[in-house]
Amino acid sequence: ASRAHSATTSHSSRAIRIRGARVHNLQSVDVDIPRDALTVITGVSGSGKSSLAFDTLFAEGQRQYIDSLSAYARQFLDSLPRPDVDLIDGLAPTMAIDQKPGSTGARSTVATITEIYDYLRLLFARVGIPHCGNCGAAVERQSPDAICQSLLKLPEGTRVVLLAPMVRGRKGQHREVFEAIASAGLVRARVDGEMLPLEDVGELSLRKNHTIEAIVDRLVMREGIESRVAESVALALKLGQGLLVASSQQGNSGWTDRLFSTAMSCVQCGSSIEEIEPRTFSFNSPYGACSTCDGLGRMKDDESDQPCAACGGTRLRPEALAVTVADASIDQVTGMSMQQAEEWINQLGPTLTELQQAVARPIKLEVSQRLNFLQRVGVQYLTLNRAAETLSGGELQRVRLATSIGSGLVGVCYVLDEPSIGLHPADHDRLIQALRDLQQQGNTVVVVEHDEATMRAADRLIDVGPGAGTQGGKIIVSGTPKQVQANKRSLTGQYLAGNDQPVVPQSRRTRSSELVLSGVRTHNLKKVKVRLPLGCLIGISGVSGSGKSSLIGDTLLPAVRYQLEHGKKMPASASSVTKFSRISGVDQLDKLVPIDQAPIGRTPRSCPATYSGVMDEIRKVFAKTREAKTRGFGANRFSFNAAAGRCDLCKGLGAEKVEMNFLSDLFVTCTRCGGKRFNRQTLQVRFKGSSIADVLAMTVNQACEFFENVPSVFRLLSSLQAVGLGYMHLGQSSTTLSGGEAQRIKLGTELARKATGQTLYVLDEPTTGLHFSDVKRLVGVLQQLVDQGNTVIVIEHDLDLLVGCDWLIDLGPVGGKDGGQLMAEGTPEQLAALKGNVTGRYLQDKLN
Ligand code: ADP
Ligand code: ADP
Ligand code: ZN
């Protein structure tokens, strides 16, 4: 009964078959996803891609996996709901590689997520050389055999006294020492450098520090004394608990002492060093973590972001930092980028002994393989110690992707969400190759993606649509990219066929006043100077890690915000991150509006209607109805946050929270109001036949029609429509919104505000989650803001958006410490005309 899967039924044994999927807006979808292939799912925002990939495919994969577990394990987990789908078969174990911080806590770093750190810890524990905390000398561990060998190398005739250190600079009663020496059958000791009969040890002053060494043997070196040396060395090491002093004299020269040790102790000063083991280097364990910051690298709850004074941000105890491999400590290695770390590990060979090389070989292999994967997915600029918390969603997903490739698992179905986020078009090829590798290892790879190059590289392309929400949820076409391209009803196909390309503006805006920021040194920026023409749409481009966020989010935003708030320029002392020398032009602005992807509210109570302010207007409409007036209900009665009107069982939430032991909290529909959030009296008030709960259940599109004649409501709703959110339900809980959706709600809300004409809007990758056709609409909205006289700055990779900009600032040439330079500034046409500018090269294709 489906047009979608007809082309693939013959391969169904090699496919995951989905039949009758009705999750969220999916309209009883039938589709086949080929196994061991690369499938891309695309479609306009809100069409149902995630509902298909994550809420159906991945959810069922997880559920089937739990079903396959033992009855014991299942009793804790059996509450996973079955997605609303008739049948899914052919499914392998399923894993989602997503962008949510999830399990990565304050202690996760790139090295720990990828397991590289586990291997480094092993390497440092096995072949690392500890250094003495007192004198810095390298500490070596010697076998009794090796000690004998070095004594036997002394020239013939050398006089040697073998001593067992018993007490080192300590006051007190030395009876037990006396007894220990005597019971070994020895009769003399060296006390404070002077040879004495053993009896005198008992007479020593109690109040003075003494150093006591038992005299184990006196030798004159000659042939044939090997066995005597071995016996005496063994006895000395036993008495000296692994330490031995050999005092020797050649000819008439003086006596010289050498300390030997089988334990970890300093040969120079004799202080003992703890045994090192992998835990010594773990900042998640009390064995390794810096005790001042508890392994966090900075003080908890410290807003200033300064590194911990004790460990300098390395998270480790001094003992761990004092161990080196090839002259580098573990924190020096984790401070390297992927490229540097790979070089370091590859040159390890010659500095190690043969035995150490054998130990290090398998570890080197694991580490360099992973470093290689990380470079292939385009995060070669990240340092290994970079905290997971500071990674962008796209970077985190790519790090996880590299980890999956490195795991070498076979027969897994991986589901990814827009892995191209944050990647420059120039880096897409490497990412696609990484996805290919994962597939060719014998895995099924399913990617939700809007990027054109990724779509063209897919074995199977599935277009979900045609519209969003109730207007979507169908499979428009499923086939090879060529087949999709030939489909006239598919928006994706039409775009791929080149029939629906972005609109390139006829002319670019120019302005005389500009914002100038110079001497920027934040993170990797190299004293960059940029000009941002006011009243223009400005795009910031450049490969991932080149410094775009450092320039805008970490420098321009705080500098402008400070000046608008304090009425004076931001001093250098105001932040440890933001570094620049001059800013001018801020006086031309009166407002700064950053529009980021942070959630619009963390409680299930907030929703698009409340955030956008449209709820306030709708409440006024209900309060003006005759019914409300006769009952004496004011606008507040229609708020689910106020006691009078809401359901008092669920307190207006519409759901009750059930705390689960092992899973995250579950919300079940409120038994009293049935999810309507309001009490019966409130619901009896109707406007045009609908209650306030009915209105909250409407999509933005439906509500637009419904409130057509109420300008205050209509104006706000049509702004949400304009940013492509027409499909969204007014009362949908904010916690279910994606970052891109949250950003667009903010944008829509801003759009509805009375424009000052002197506002600076700053957006970071607003095209996230947007299909080509959505991008077109978004560009229209941004142009509208600029037409009102405002300035809009967008950090972007999407070429369809970049060609619509008046002015571009391109950073590069690479990510990481060698990036951070201004490559070009100008109109898209000027960039495209530059020789050797990577962004320009991609723009050329769009401009022609
Ligand atoms: P896409 O991934 O294509 O952007 P989604 O699958 O996220 O689209 O959403 C499809 C539709 O399902 C939208 O109308 C969206 O609002 C709705 N939806 C998504 N998640 C939920 C949810 N948890 N509860 C209710 N509706 C949802
Ligand atoms: P882009 O936005 O172009 O992807 P970023 O500005 O995020 O680039 O990063 C530029 C450089 O600064 C990179 O080398 C990155 O690793 C480094 N960097 C960014 N944020 C931080 C941070 N919070 N701590 C340390 N280094 C950072
Ligand atoms: Zn209720």
Interval 757-802: pLDDT, tens: 899 999 998 888 888 888 888 899 999 899 989 999 999 999 999 9
Q: Which atom of ligand 1 is nearest to the CA of 54?
A: 6
pLDDT for res 155: 92
449, burial (CB in 10 Å: exposed 0-12, middle 13-18, buried 19+): buried
CA of 482 to the centre of ligand 1 (A): 28
Interval 533-545: pLDDT, tens: 999 999 999 988 8
pLDDT higher than 60, residue 362: yes
Secondary structure (H, E, C), 156-219: CCCEEEEEEEEEEEECCCCHHHHHHHHHCCCCEEEECCEEEEHHHHHHCCCCCCEEEEEEEEEE
CA of 610 to the centre of ligand 1 (A): 19
Q: Which atom of ligand 1 is nearest to the CA of 47?
A: 3
Query: What is the three-class DSSP state of 371?
Result: helix
pLDDT for res 103: 58
Calculate ∠ Cα 685-686-687, nearest 5°.
135
CA of 551 to the centre of ligand 2 (A): 10
pLDDT higher than 90, residue 358: no
Give the pocket of ligand 2 (CB within 6 Å): 381-382, 390, 523-524, 542, 544-550, 815-816
CA of 649 to the centre of ligand 1 (A): 28
CA of 675 to the centre of ligand 3 (A): 6
* Section 250-258 average pLDDT: 86
Kindly state the tokens that stand for 572.
Answer: 């250098």
Interval 280-298: pLDDT, tens: 999 988 889 999 999 989 8
Question: Are 268 and 137 in contact, with CB atoms under 8 Å apart?
Answer: yes
Calculate ∠ Cα 496-498-504, nearest 5°.
120
CA of 762 to the centre of ligand 2 (A): 18
Element (H, E) at 582: strand 582-584
Kindly state the tokens that stand for 419.
Answer: 């892995």
> Strand 582-584 relative to strand 514-520: parallel, antiparallel, unpaired?
antiparallel
- 260-264, 474-478, 603-607, 621-625 — which is least confidently predicted? 260-264
pLDDT higher than 50, residue 4: no
Query: What is the three-class DSSP state of 492?
Result: helix
643, burial (CB in 10 Å: exposed 0-12, middle 13-18, buried 19+): exposed
Residues in the chain: 848
pLDDT for res 421: 85
pLDDT higher than 60, residue 608: yes
Instruction: Please tell me what DSSP assigns to residue 55.
Output: I
Residue of 109, 549, 768, 821 to test ligand 2 pocket, by largest number of atoms within 8 Å of CB: 549
Q: Which residues surround ligand 3, an ion (CB under 5 A)?
A: 647, 649-650, 670, 672-673
Q: At 3, is the pLDDT very low, low, confident or very high (cuts 50, 70, 90)?
A: very low
pLDDT for res 65: 78
* CA-closest residue to ligand 1 atom 19: 24
With DSSP H G I counted as helix, E B as strand and the rest as coil, what are the percentages for the chain, rounded to 5?
40, 20, 40
Interval 417-426: pLDDT, tens: 888 888 888 8
Q: Which numbered ligand comes closest to the C-alpha of 471? A: 1
* Section 454-467 average pLDDT: 96
pLDDT for res 325: 92
Q: Which atom of ligand 2 is nearest to the CA of 392?
A: 7
Interval 43-53: pLDDT, tens: 988 899 999 99
Mean pLDDT of the chain: 88
Q: Which residue has the tokens 């911080």?
A: 101
* Section 255-276 average pLDDT: 76
Q: Which atom of ligand 2 is nearest to the CA of 816?
A: 14
Secondary structure (H, E, C), 234-258: HHHHHHCCCEEEEEEECCCCCCEEE
Q: At 253, is the pLDDT very low, low, confident or very high (cuts 50, 70, 90)?
A: confident
CA of 43 to the centre of ligand 1 (A): 12
pLDDT for res 216: 95
pLDDT for res 8: 39
In angstroms, rounded to a whole number, what is the distance separating the alpha carbons of residues 848 and 846? 6
Share of the chain above pLDDT 90, in %: 56
CA of 547 to the centre of ligand 2 (A): 6
CA of 391 to the centre of ligand 2 (A): 8
CA of 718 to the centre of ligand 1 (A): 20
* CA-closest residue to ligand 1 atom 27: 24
Kindly state the tokens that stand for 465.
Answer: 């649509």
Element (H, E) at 680: helix 680-683
Question: Are 247 and 222 in contact, with CB atoms under 8 Å apart?
Answer: no
Residue of 25, 49, 768, 774 to test ligand 1 pocket, by largest number of atoms within 8 Å of CB: 25
Q: Which numbered ligand comes closest to the C-alpha of 378? A: 2
Interval 485-523: pLDDT, tens: 999 999 999 999 988 777 788 889 987 899 999 999 999
pLDDT higher than 70, residue 159: yes
pLDDT higher than 70, residue 218: yes
Q: Which atom of ligand 2 is nearest to the CA of 817?
A: 14
586-620: b (≥16 Cβ within 10 Å) or e: beebeebbbbbbeebbeebbbbbbbbbebbbbbbe
Question: Are 330 and 322 in contact, with CB atoms under 8 Å apart?
Answer: no
Q: Which numbered ligand comes closest to the C-alpha of 385? A: 2
* Higher per-residue confidence, 352 vs 440: 440
Q: At 163, is the pLDDT very low, low, confident or very high (cuts 50, 70, 90)?
A: very high
How far are the Cα atoms of 256, 401, 407, 434 from residue 99, in angstroms, in the given order? 64, 10, 19, 17
Give the pocket of ligand 1 (CB within 6 Å): 24-25, 43, 45-51, 468-469, 727-728, 732, 736, 769
pLDDT for res 1: 36
Measured distance between the N- and C-terminal CA atoms of the chain, rounded to whole angstroms: 43
Instruction: Please tell me what DSSP assigns to residue 45.
Output: T
pTM of the predicted model over 0.90: no
Neighbour tally for 581: CB within 10 Å: 12
pLDDT higher than 50, residue 663: no
655, burial (CB in 10 Å: exposed 0-12, middle 13-18, buried 19+): middle
Q: At 378, is the pLDDT very low, low, confident or very high (cuts 50, 70, 90)?
A: confident
In angstroms, rounded to a whole number, what is the distance separating the alpha carbons of residues 374 and 405? 10
Q: Which numbered ligand comes closest to the C-alpha of 816? A: 2
* Residue 417, strand partner residues: 448
Instruction: Please tell me what DSSP assigns to residue 57.
Output: I
**Residue 540 half-sphere exposure toward CB, CA atoms < 13 A:** 29
What are the structural domains of the chain?
9-93+411-496 (3.40.50.300), 110-128+276-388 (1.20.1580.10), 144-261 (3.30.190.20), 501-599+742-848 (3.40.50.300), 601-736 (1.20.1580.10)
Interval 140-158: pLDDT, tens: 667 888 889 889 999 999 9
Residue of 541, 550, 796, 797 to test ligand 2 pocket, by largest number of atoms within 8 Å of CB: 550
pLDDT for res 691: 97
pLDDT for res 662: 44
